[in-house]
């Protein structure tokens, strides 16, 4: 791959990662503001009802999307001339799923023991699933064509409108059902914005209902669907088991620490989403370019995140004091130090999973997700029972590490041979040196400890030559205005 081409590709990846990261951060900020507003104006019960709405909405949105987005992104990235065809299949398939899932949401809401206003609100948000299907299909096209700025435009615009609408609704004295209508309105606005952009791209031209093709695409996406369900369940295991074994106070202490980790992981999510269509295209065009991009992403990405992980470990006490008030969160700093390596493990998993799916090995991703979910259940159950919330933090790291090892073995054996020295050995050495440095400087003030950690990191990276002169040149080209 020529240097100019590398620079162009990495520039697009950096821009797309920035767009998706801005979207993720904006979403978190807006959702947090809405949650604080609801909790203050509707009280504990109203806030609980709102939490039930969001939980149901997130779960049923996963069922609507199934595995279509990942499949659609991969196929459009490889065959740009079939973008309209795959958009049509993704749209119709997910709209069909949305109709079925909406009925399931209504049935679930009426079967469970919820108050009447909660049931009515759940019925209202079921109306948001069809516009969500439209958004999902449109965003798949944007990701495949590496135009993530359109996603940022639609999501941040719609969620800002949702925040303002929530303020008005609550100030007028309306409660949970009105908030459900605000959620529906926000999703409809998002679908409208993205639908207009799709129209500007010409993908609505000559639109026809190809239900047979859509059903075939849904069948092809089954492995992606199973993986999405496994990931969704895994991401909720820690809180579900912790709430049963320790209680809601333990959940609060744990979430206070994990929130910091989650914010950093947004960058990993954004980059893995950005690199996925590029890997999919390279797999069909050139195995050498596919391997180079995956290898560079792993070695440089993991190396780059080692420093933030060490910084979070050093500043755990300071971060917890700044973000949270009260003595009840003192244990969160310990949990944050335990979970800081999960930042690196998370990126490792995300990139290797993208490598498997982009190379038609999505069945392997299903196996990894299933094993990780099962192992995580065992880890969480045993360690939380023995160590309480500290055990939950260790279980999170162990479950992620289990998935990382399996992902690496599958990629290395079935997709491409990765250099174990630069992709595993050298990052582990640097990580070990940083861990020792953090422990040895624990008695110093945090600015001094941070300076020593940064110095050890810089010397280690240069000494082990993980970042070459060409890499620094490419980085300069990416960051240059």
pLDDT digits (tens, 9 = 90+) for 225-272: 777 777 767 776 776 677 678 775 776 677 778 778 887 887 787 778
Quick check: 471 pLDDT over 70? Answer: no
pLDDT of residue 442: 77
pLDDT of residue 397: 93
Contact present, 49 and 118 (Cβ < 8 Å):
yes
When pLDDT is averaged across residues 284-312 and rounded to a whole number, the result is: 84
When pLDDT is averaged across residues 351-374 and rounded to a whole number, the result is: 85
CA distance 296 to 213: 37
When pLDDT is averaged across residues 2-12 and rounded to a whole number, the result is: 58
How does DSSP assign 43-81, residue by residue? Answer: HHHHHHHHHHHHHHHHHHHHHHHTTHHHHHHHHHHH-GG
pLDDT of residue 43: 64
- When pLDDT is cut at 50, 70 and 90, the band that residue 367 belongs to is confident
Quick check: 315 pLDDT over 60? Answer: yes
Question: How much of the chain is in helix, strand and coil states, percent to nearest 5?
Answer: 90, 0, 10
Quick check: 366 pLDDT over 70? Answer: yes
Average pLDDT, the chain: 80
Contact present, 197 and 184 (Cβ < 8 Å):
no
pLDDT of residue 399: 92
Segment 163-189, tens digit of pLDDT: 888 888 888 887 788 888 988 998 899
Please count the other Cβ atoms lying within 10 Å of the Cβ belonging to residue 42.
18
> Taking the mean position of all CA atoms in its chain, how far away is CA 10?
21
End-to-end CA distance of the chain: 23
Alpha helices in 172-315 (DSSP H): 176-200, 211-220, 222-245, 248-285, 287-314
pLDDT of residue 391: 92
CA distance 132 to 121: 17
- When pLDDT is cut at 50, 70 and 90, the band that residue 395 belongs to is very high
How many angstroms separate the Cα of 324 from the Cα of each of 257, 259, 409, 455?
10, 11, 40, 30
The residue ranking higher by pLDDT, 347 or 253, is 347
Of 106-110, 232-236, 305-309, the range with the lowest mean pLDDT is 232-236
Q: What are phi and psi of 174, to 5 degrees?
A: -80, 160
Could you tell me the pTM of the whole model? 0.70
Q: Of 113, 63, 70, which is closest to residue 90 (Cα–Cα)?
A: 70
Q: Of 30, 53, 55, which is closest to residue 179 (Cα–Cα)?
A: 53
Segment 37-85, tens digit of pLDDT: 666 666 656 666 776 677 678 778 888 887 788 888 888 877 888 888 8
Tokens of 209: 């209902």
pLDDT of residue 253: 76
When pLDDT is averaged across residues 367-385 and rounded to a whole number, the result is: 89
How does DSSP assign 20-40, residue by residue? Answer: HHHHHHHHHHHHHHHHHHHHH
pLDDT of residue 479: 46
CA distance 338 to 474: 34
pLDDT of residue 240: 66
pLDDT of residue 300: 81
- When pLDDT is cut at 50, 70 and 90, the band that residue 25 belongs to is low
Quick check: 343 pLDDT over 60? Answer: yes
């Amino acid at each position: 791959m020529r240097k100019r081409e590398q620079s162009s590709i990495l520039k697009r990846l950096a821009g797309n990662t920035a767009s998706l990261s801005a979207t993720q951060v904006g979403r978190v900020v807006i959702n947090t503001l809405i949650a604080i507003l609801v909790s203050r104006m509707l009280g504990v019960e109203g806030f609980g009802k709102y939490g039930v709405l969001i939980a149901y909405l997130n779960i049923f949105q996963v069922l609507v999307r199934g595995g279509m987005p990942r499949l659609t992104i991969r196929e459009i990235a490889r065959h740009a001339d079939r973008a309209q065809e795959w958009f049509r299949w993704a749209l119709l398939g997910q709209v069909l799923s949305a109709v079925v899932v909406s009925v399931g949401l209504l049935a679930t809401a009426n079967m469970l023991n919820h108050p009447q206003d909660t049931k009515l609100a759940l019925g209202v948000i079921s109306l948001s699933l069809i516009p969500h299907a439209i958004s999902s299909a449109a965003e798949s096209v944007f990701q495949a064509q590496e135009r993530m700025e359109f996603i940022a435009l639609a999501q941040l615009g719609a969620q800002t409108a949702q925040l303002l609408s929530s303020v008005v609704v609550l100030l007028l004295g309306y409660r949970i059902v009105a908030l459900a209508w605000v959620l529906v309105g926000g999703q409809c606005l998002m679908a409208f914005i993205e639908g207009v952009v799709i129209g500007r791209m010409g993908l609505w031209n000559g639109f026809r209902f190809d239900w047979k093709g859509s059903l075939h695409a849904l069948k092809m996406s089954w492995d992606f669907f199973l993986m999405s369900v496994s990931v969704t369940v895994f991401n909720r295991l820690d809180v579900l088991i912790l709430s049963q074994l320790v209680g809601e106070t333990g959940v609060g202490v744990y979430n206070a620490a994990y929130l910091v980790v989650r914010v950093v992981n947004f960058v990993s999510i954004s980059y893995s989403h950005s690199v996925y269509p590029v890997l999919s295209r390279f797999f069909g065009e050139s195995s050498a370019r596919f391997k180079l991009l995956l290898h560079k992403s792993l070695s440089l990405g993991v190396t780059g995140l080692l420093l933030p992980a060490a910084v979070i470990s050093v500043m755990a006490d300071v971060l917890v004091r700044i973000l949270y008030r009260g003595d009840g969160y003192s244990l969160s700093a310990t949990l944050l130090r335990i979970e800081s390596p999960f930042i690196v493990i998370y990126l490792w998993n995300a990139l290797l999973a993208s490598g498997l799916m982009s190379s038609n090995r999505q069945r392997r991703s299903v196996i990894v997700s299933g094993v990780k979910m099962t192992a995580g259940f065992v880890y969480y159950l045993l360690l939380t029972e023995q160590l309480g919330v500290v055990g939950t933090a260790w279980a999170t790291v162990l479950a992620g590490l289990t998935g990382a090892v399996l992902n690496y073995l599958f990629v290395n054996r079935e997709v491409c041979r990765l250099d174990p020295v630069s992709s595993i050995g050298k990052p582990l050495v640097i990580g070990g040196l940083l861990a020792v440095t953090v422990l040895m400087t624990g008695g110093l003030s945090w600015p001094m400890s941070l300076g020593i950690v940064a110095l050890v990191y810089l010397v280690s990276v240069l000494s082990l030559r993980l970042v070459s002169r060409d890499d620094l040149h490419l980085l300069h080209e990416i960051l240059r205005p």
